[in-house]
């Protein structure tokens, strides 16, 4: 999941004055990046941050005519769509078009797409399930990549591959849905993914963000992760990747740092897949009951309007939602974006909200919590500029 900049984990405990200053500084950085997006869309430099694959200058792809974009896409070594609406690919239902959009089906096509982006000097962004991302209203002036084909496959690595009996370890491509992994774990008689069943999104995005719920995180289930290096080749590895993908680096769990809603996989390359441990054996009825309880609990606490789930990370020893509610911000609105009356750490799209609405509301929440409680909240949602950078 490449992006220009990755925010760190957690929020430091600050004095009220320091909290306000920190939040203001973050808002200023985000505002400058948003202004740069407008310039990029107008045809100025479209350079990205580290790992974005951006060039250092030239006209941004979103400034090109449809005919010019079609001509650029025709040069690619794989099929590309132009001006693909990003709002249709995210749970927030917000975002302008991607200048170019690719669905590589295997490692060869993915490597070709990345090489094309580097050669043309345009940013690229790897999009998972779109459940934890907010795109810019301008869209993304570069190449958005969503893995498909072989990257969506799951495979049993031990036990009976037909029945799943005796299986405790599987391989899942980065594009595989967490719901499909949970279903395979159930078929194998394992309960380790029951708590993760209701999480929308894909394995790749879940690993990068260390998605979790109800005491279980996917990092707890990872035996190894396969990565394509930032320059399109493998890095140091131990053992052959279970996927058999030539050029993939296999990184064992002990060499990966997972923490609450994050990992150090960000910036190391593109996650291709993982070997996952399915957890303890359990009767089918117990697994089904655990999955039902998980889904019911999620429906009871989360709003039904389009959102990206929890917007801010929980500061150490605190719950972001409780802090926001104590500051009287439940139900607060900017445009058609609202702090959910049901769950204060969820910002919802009431229908027609813009990225600017959501960012302004998030900045207001951060500023008030810093002012009243001396704590700076850090976004859990990846707020992506039109140049493919993750904003602070």
Cβ neighbour number for residue 306 with a 10 Å cutoff: 16
Q: Which among 87, 89, 88, 92 has a CA at the least distance from the CA of 307?
A: 92
Q: What local confidence, expressed as pLDDT, does residue 50 receive?
A: 28
CA-to-CA distance for 40 and 294, rounded, in angstroms? 43
Catalytic choice (217, 380, 382, 387) = 380
Would you call 376 exposed, middle or buried from its count of C-beta atoms within 10 A (0-12, 13-18, 19+)? buried
Radius of gyration of the chain (CA): 21
Q: Which residues pair with 84 in a beta bridge?
A: 98
pLDDT the model gives residue 65: 85
Catalytic residue among 261, 313, 359, 373: 261
**Which pLDDT score is estimated for 298?**
86
- In this predicted model, what pLDDT tens digit does every residue of 112-164 receive, in sequence order? 999 999 999 999 999 999 999 999 999 999 999 999 999 999 999 987 777 77
- CATH pick for 152-286 out of 1.20.140.90, 3.20.20.140, 3.30.465.10, 3.30.1200.10: 3.30.465.10
Which uninterrupted H or E stretch holds 143? strand 140-145
What distance in Å separates the CA atoms of residue 72 and residue 99, rounded to the nearest whole number?
10
Instruction: List, run by run, the mean pLDDT of 10-residue segments along the chain (392 residues).
Output: 29 32 46 47 32 41 85 94 96 97 96 94 93 95 96 90 80 95 93 89 93 88 89 49 65 92 87 95 94 90 93 93 97 98 97 97 98 95 92 82
Domain ranges in the chain with CATH number 3.30.465.10: 152-286
Residue 380 is a catalytic residue: yes
According to the model, what pLDDT value does residue 163 have? 74
Instruction: For residue 343, report the phi and psi dihedrals to the nearest 5 degrees.
Output: -145, 115
- CA 373: distance to chain centroid? 29
Catalytic residue, chosen from 91, 243, 263, 310, is 310
CA distances from 250 to 75, 150, 235, 238, 258 (A): 32, 17, 8, 6, 16
Q: For the chain, where do the domains classified as CATH 3.30.43.10 start and end?
A: 32-149
Strand ordering across the sheet containing 346-349:
307-310, 346-349, 337-339, 333-334
In order, the DSSP letters of 317-346 are: TS-HHHHHHHTT-TT-EETTEEE-SS-TTE
Q: Give the strand pairing for 346-349 and 307-310.
A: antiparallel
According to the model, what pLDDT value does residue 212 have? 86
- What is the maximum span of the chain, computed from C-alpha positions, in angstroms? 61
Cα distance between residue 235 and residue 121, in whole Å: 23
SS3 content of the chain, % helix, strand, coil (to 5): 35, 20, 45
Residue 44: Cβ within 10 Å count: 15
pTM of the model: 0.81
d(CA 218, CA 182): 11
- Residue pair 376/12 in contact by the 8 Å Cβ criterion: yes
- DSSP string covering 71-82, please? HHHHTSSS-EEE
CATH number for the segment(s) 32-149: 3.30.43.10
Known active-site residue 261: yes
The C-alpha atoms of residue 390 and residue 379 are separated, in whole angstroms, by 10
pLDDT on residue 91: 96
User: Each residue of 281-309: pLDDT tens digit?
Assistant: 999 999 999 999 989 988 888 899 999 99
Active site residue 230: no
The length of the chain is 392
CA distances to 190, 201, 219 from 253, rounded to whole Å, are 20, 21, 8
């Amino acid at each position: 999941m490449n992006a220009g900049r990755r925010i760190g984990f957690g929020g430091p405990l600050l004095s009220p004055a320091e909290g306000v200053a920190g939040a203001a500084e973050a808002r200023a950085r985000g505002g400058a990046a948003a202004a740069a997006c407008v310039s990029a869309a107008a045809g100025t430099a479209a350079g990205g941050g580290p790992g974005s694959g951006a060039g250092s200058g030239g006209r941004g792809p979103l400034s090109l005519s449809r005919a010019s974009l079609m001509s650029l896409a025709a040069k690619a070594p794989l099929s590309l769509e132009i001006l693909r609406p990003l709002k249709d690919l995210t749970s927030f239902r917000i975002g302008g078009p991607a200048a170019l959009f690719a669905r590589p089906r295997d490692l060869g096509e993915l490597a070709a797409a990345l090489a094309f982006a580097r050669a043309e000097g345009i940013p690229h962004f790897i999009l998972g399930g779109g459940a934890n991302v907010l795109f810019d209203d301008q869209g993304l002036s570069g190449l958005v990549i969503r893995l498909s084909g072989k990257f969506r496959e799951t495979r049993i690595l031990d036990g009976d591959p037909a029945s799943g009996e005796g299986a405790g370890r599987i391989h899942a491509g980065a594009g595989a849905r967490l719901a499909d992994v949970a279903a395979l774990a159930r078929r194998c008689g394992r309960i380790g993914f029951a708590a993760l069943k209701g999480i929308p999104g894909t394995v790749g995005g879940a690993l990068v963000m260390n998605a979790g719920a109800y005491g279980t995180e996917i990092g707890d289930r990872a035996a190894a992760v396969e990565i394509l290096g930032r320059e399109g080749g493998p890095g140091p590895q131990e053992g052959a990747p279970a996927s058999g993908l030539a050029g993939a680096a296999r990184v064992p769990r002990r060499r990966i740092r997972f923490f609450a809603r994050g990992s150090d996989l960000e910036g190391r390359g593109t996650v291709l897949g993982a070997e996952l441990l399915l957890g303890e054996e359990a009767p089918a009825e117990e697994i089904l009951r655990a999955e039902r309880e998980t889904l019911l609990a999620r429906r009871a606490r989360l709003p039904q309007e389009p959102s990206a789930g929890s917007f801010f990370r929980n500061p150490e020893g605190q719950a972001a939602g409780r802090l926001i509610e104590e500051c009287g911000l439940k139900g607060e609105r900017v445009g058609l974006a609202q702090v959910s009356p049901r769950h204060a750490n969820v910002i919802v799209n009431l229908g027609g909200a813009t990225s600017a609405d959501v960012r302004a509301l998030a900045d207001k929440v951060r500023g008030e919590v810093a002012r009243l409680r001396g704590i700076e909240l850090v976004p859990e949602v990846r707020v992506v500029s039109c140049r493919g950078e993750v904003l602070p």
